[in-house]
């Protein structure tokens, strides 16, 4: 291997990181070489001198969290993981961006050891970092620094800093004084369309200082400056830190450095060779690592493993076992430890108020349940009574006040879930899910246990009008893979929905709750509501005579279906009412069960205060659907119900027409 003799071990290590990154991208003929070339010096100093980890135990609970928010630069992280001894081989690097490889195009949590969160959509990783810092702060306050004492480091770029989600998250982080959150900003002055000066000329340092952050500006290629800035950031425990690293995108590339082209275009074989020569590597060698680099970067691995084992020993104590129960929870039998609220049949209560009762019951049984709303605590009713507020001077608080920051709120909850130790939930009106959707999608992609609580879930919001009436949002949520949506019809189903949410560890759950009161449904005393809801749909009321028609409803429309059934049954028409709180859970049931609930022999009429589109999957070509294929209107909820046909009379009329057909 050709190595220029003047390179120090640190310089050679940074050059090796660069070489592996551009080799992987060139082998794939796809990727983003600019950021790895530009940030290799910063990343090397961070990983070699500051980051706390144990490559032999990637999921060690007290490790520092490292997030590559600028996830397009994934080869930087893959090179680091390989060089420090994580289970990622040179062959894995050679398979960059190939189907089934351990090195996908953007970092994916759960796919590659050492990846904390799935990044790519810019700004998401930054906001996840805020959630991880909140998680660390709460756990350290509760269990002590001997069990929880780590930092969250984020590498973010200009794109991350431009995204609105970053502004939301950074503002909250500064307010909360999250001093163990340190962001390394790759300030290379280049975006895909050209120099950042065409769109991004604000004073970023002044903006973050105004947020309450400690800010430093450094030369990102000066390792001593990087070291000094990181030491100052670690020492400033009262403020999050932004280290603005002035770098050259594509550093070392003779023809492409400093240009927008190097952001997302492989260098090409000739430019790869020229770049290696420029940074002191053998231009003819590919995926080459000098033994001295492995030795240098892994020299402290024994020390790192020993630190982790010492922590393991501390975990054997009573407090350590309690901490372990928090970060490695088992909720399979949680239902037995919760005093579930209940009410008599016919009692009137909105499911948002019912949800409030359930949250109090769960909070007593699950110490790690934390959450809040986007400035809607008095409307969504998701505060934990007596739980205190998570604030700068009170990190034990269980109620997180996210402010009017829906997008960051969802991504911060994702970070809380990635960190482990908490069951996070967040809430807002259903119509504002659109502000949260990118983060909700990533929660589903990562399989995170996050509960998204949505209230005011239909046109029954009333006078607020069409801007606040989410006619299309239920179906939009149902389109997200691995997201379970539950729309309960009363307190009993709301309890069951929350039980599913806290037991579901393979993905997020959304709850759709009403603003208006609903009657508690009468069921036989022995009826197992949680088991029924867990199947997604169930027969709530069987036909009193030969089955003629099935009324299928969700949430607030279940009571309407029951009222229509009473009228039709009085006319001698056998009507089955099916409650379907979750389409996703129902779709996962065996075909025999689904056919037993929705038999092909009877016509079906669905009723939901949202789009009719999608219900043809359940009612079939011969069925019918009552819904809204248009926006709502401003007016009292009962007036709107009549106007839109959500009345007993209209449901009965449509059922008769369906039978006549």
Residues acting as catalytic residues: 406
Q: How many CB atoms lie within 10 A of CB 270?
A: 11
Six token digits for residue 638: 């009962």
Q: Are strands 214-219 and 241-246 parallel, antiparallel or unpaired?
A: parallel
260 near 190, Cβ under 8 Å?
yes
* Backbone CA torsion sign across 308, 312, 314, 319: positive
234-237's contacts with Cβ under 8 Å and 24+ in sequence apart are: 234/50, 234/151, 234/182, 236/179, 237/179, 237/180
Q: How many CB atoms lie within 10 A of CB 224?
A: 10
Dist. CA 207–CA 170, nearest whole Å: 10
Six token digits for residue 495: 């309890």
End-to-end Cα spacing for the chain: 81
DSSP state of 391: B
What secondary structure does DSSP assign to 589-614, as a single string? S-HHHHHHHS-TTS-EEEE-SS-STT
Dist. CA 518–CA 492, nearest whole Å: 12
612 near 605, Cβ under 8 Å?
no
> Can you tell me whether residue 656 is helix, strand or coil?
helix
**152: phi then psi, degrees, rounded to nearest 5:** -120, 120
Six token digits for residue 525: 């005393």
The secondary structure element, H or E, covering residue 245 is strand 241-246
* Close Cβ partners of 101 (under 8 Å, ≥ 6 residues apart): 92, 95
442 near 411, Cβ under 8 Å?
yes
- Residue 246's DSSP bridge partners are 187, 219
Dist. CA 65–CA 480, nearest whole Å: 28
Q: Residues, the chain, total?
A: 661
Dist. CA 111–CA 445, nearest whole Å: 11
Q: Which residue has the tokens 């022995």?
A: 526
CA dihedral of 128, 134, 135, 140, whole degrees rounded to 10: 150
267 near 26, Cβ under 8 Å?
yes
Task: Give counts: helices (H), strands (E), the chain.
Answer: 27, 19
């Amino acid at each position: 291997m050709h190595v220029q003799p003047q390179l120090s071990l640190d310089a050679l290590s940074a050059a090796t990181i660069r070489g592996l990154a551009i080799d992987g991208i060139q082998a794939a003929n796809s990727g983003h070489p600019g950021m790895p070339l530009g940030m290799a010096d910063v990343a090397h100093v961070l990983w070699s001198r500051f980051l706390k980890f144990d490559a032999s135990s990637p999921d060690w609970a007290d490790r520092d969290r490292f997030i590559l928010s600028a996830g397009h630069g994934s080869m930087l992280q893959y090179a680091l993981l390989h060089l420090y001894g994580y289970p990622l081989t040179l062959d894995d690097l050679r398979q960059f961006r190939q189907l089934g490889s351990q090195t996908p195009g953007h970092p994916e949590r759960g796919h590659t050891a050492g990846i904390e969160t799935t990044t790519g959509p810019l700004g998401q990783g930054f906001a996840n970092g805020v959630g991880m810092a909140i998680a660390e702060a709460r756990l350290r306050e509760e269990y002590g620094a001997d069990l929880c004492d780590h930092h969250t480091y984020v590498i973010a770029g200009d794109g991350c800093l431009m995204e609105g989600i970053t502004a939301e998250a950074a503002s909250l982080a500064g307010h909360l004084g999250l001093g163990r959150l340190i962001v390394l900003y790759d300030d290379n002055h280049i975006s895909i369309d050209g120099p950042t000066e065409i769109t991004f000329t604000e004073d970023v340092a002044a903006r973050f200082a105004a947020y309450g952050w400690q800010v430093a500006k450094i030369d990102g290629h000066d390792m001593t400056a990087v070291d000094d800035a990181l030491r100052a950031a670690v020492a400033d425990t009262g403020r999050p830190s932004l280290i603005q690293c002035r770098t050259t995108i594509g550093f070392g590339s003779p023809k492409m450095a400093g240009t927008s082209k190097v952001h997302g275009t492989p260098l090409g074989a000739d430019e790869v060779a020229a770049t290696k020569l420029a940074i002191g590597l053998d231009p003819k060698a590919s995926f080459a690592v000098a033994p001295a680099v492995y030795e240098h970067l892994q020299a402290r691995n024994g020390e790192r493993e020993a630190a982790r084992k010492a922590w393991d020993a501390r975990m054997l104590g009573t407090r350590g076992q309690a901490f372990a129960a928090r970060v490695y929870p088992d909720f399979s039998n949680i239902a037995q430890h919760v005093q579930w609220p209940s009410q008599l049949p016919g009692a009137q209560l909105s499911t948002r108020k019912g949800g409030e009762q359930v949250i109090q019951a769960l909070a007593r049984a699950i110490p790690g349940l934390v959450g809040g709303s986007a400035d809607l605590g008095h409307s969504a009713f998701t505060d934990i009574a007596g739980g205190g507020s998570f604030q700068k001077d009170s990190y034990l608080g269980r109620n997180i006040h996210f402010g009017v920051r829906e997008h960051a709120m969802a991504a911060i909850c994702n970070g809380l879930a990635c960190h482990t130790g908490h069951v996070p939930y967040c809430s807002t009106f259903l119509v504002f899910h659109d502000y949260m959707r990118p983060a909700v999608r990533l929660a589903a992609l990562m399989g995170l246990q996050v509960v998204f609580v949505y209230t005011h879930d239909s046109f029954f919001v009333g006078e607020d009008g069409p801007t606040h009436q989410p006619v299309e949002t239920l179906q939009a949520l149902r389109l997200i893979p691995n997201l379970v949506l539950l729309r309960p019809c009363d307190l009993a189903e709301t309890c069951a929905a929350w039980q599913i949410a806290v037991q579901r560890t393979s993905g997020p759950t959304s709850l759709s709750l009403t603003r208006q009161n609903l009657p508690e449904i009468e069921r036989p005393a022995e009826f197992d509501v949680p088991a029924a809801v867990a199947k997604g749909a169930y027969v709530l009321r069987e036909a009193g005579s030969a089955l003629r028609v099935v009324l299928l409803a969700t949430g607030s429309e279940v009571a309407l279906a029951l009222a229509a059934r009473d009228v039709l049954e009085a006319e001698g028409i056998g009507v089955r009412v099916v409650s379907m709180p979750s389409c996703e859970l129902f779709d996962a049931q065996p075909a025999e069960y689904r056919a037993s609930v929705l038999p092909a022999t009877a016509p079906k009429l669905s009723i939901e205060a949202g789009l009719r589109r999608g219900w043809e999957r359940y009612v079939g070509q011969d069925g019918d659907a009552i819904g809204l294929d248009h926006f709502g209107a401003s007016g009292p909820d009962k007036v709107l119900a009549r106007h839109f046909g959500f009345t007993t009379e209209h449901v009965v009329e449509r059922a008769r027409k369906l039978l006549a057909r």
